[in-house]
Amino acid sequence: MRILFFGDIVGKPGRHALASVIGQLRGRYKADVVIANGENAAGGFGLTAKVIQDLFKLGVDAITTGNHIWDKKEALALLEGGEPVVRPLNFAPECPGRGAARLELQGGKVLWVANIQGKVMMPPIACPFRAMDQFLKEIPAGEKCLLVDFHAEATSEKRAMGFYLDGRASLVVGTHTHVQTNDAEILPKGTGYISDAGMTGSFASVIGMDVEDSTKRIITGMPVLLNVAKGNVKAAVVFAELDDTTGKCVAIEAFVEPVPRS
């Protein structure tokens, strides 16, 4: 099974980047499935029904999210639908939506996509490690391929999760920090891992947002409105190949794809 994972899509520039490269990358890597973190896809914060449909029309097969999933009120209803849009499974049980999706692919292949959120330097939340232990008990024994989007701030927590799930998940992809890390690897027991997939959007920015807005907020400590930046648009992507029988990762590569100027 060949997977493409797009790092956090930020606003309209991120959606433009995805539209510009998804077809050629899917062909280049002969990908069976495309996953994207979409929690920043609508104006930089959250998701809307139109944005979700746009992402699916472009060829995304499942959307993962994170702490910004509630930023648009309509997400509460959207997550109750049957589409493969998932929020962290360690959110409170009362929260709408689900933490994982089962994707049936061509050739009888099955991929589980799970979403969890970290605790370190993040809003209070249930333990993601214990949540994964429970979730792994619910996957049928014969379905070995599992991608985990770990939406977390601290590299230490992400590394710990990678080793915690080594041999139990096929691929652990970190998201949230919007900066692609240079540590894509296959861990000792066969799990593909990267601390952060990076960002799909404007690289002339502070993690996708206007430089002036972001700098002013940091310097003053005031709640300055952040606008999505527009220039130097690129897509940060992770490619992984899994053994369909064992679920182990046999190849992983992280890269940043330039977007042709329109």
Residue 207, exposed/middle/buried by CB under 10 A (0-12, 13-18, 19+)?
Answer: buried
Residue entry with tokens 């404007």:
202
68 given a catalytic annotation = yes
DSSP letter for each residue of 92-149: -TTSSS-SEEEEE-GGG-EEEEEEEE--TTSS----HHHHHHHHHTTS-TT---EEEE
Of 68, 151, 176, 178, which one is the catalytic site residue? 68
Taking residue 12's Cβ as centre, other Cβ atoms within 10 Å add up to 18
> If you ran DSSP here, which 8-state letter would residue 162 be given?
H
Per-residue burial over 26-48, b if 16 or more Cβ lie within 10 Å, else e, is beebebbbbbbbbbbbbbbbbbb
Residues acting as catalytic residues:
68
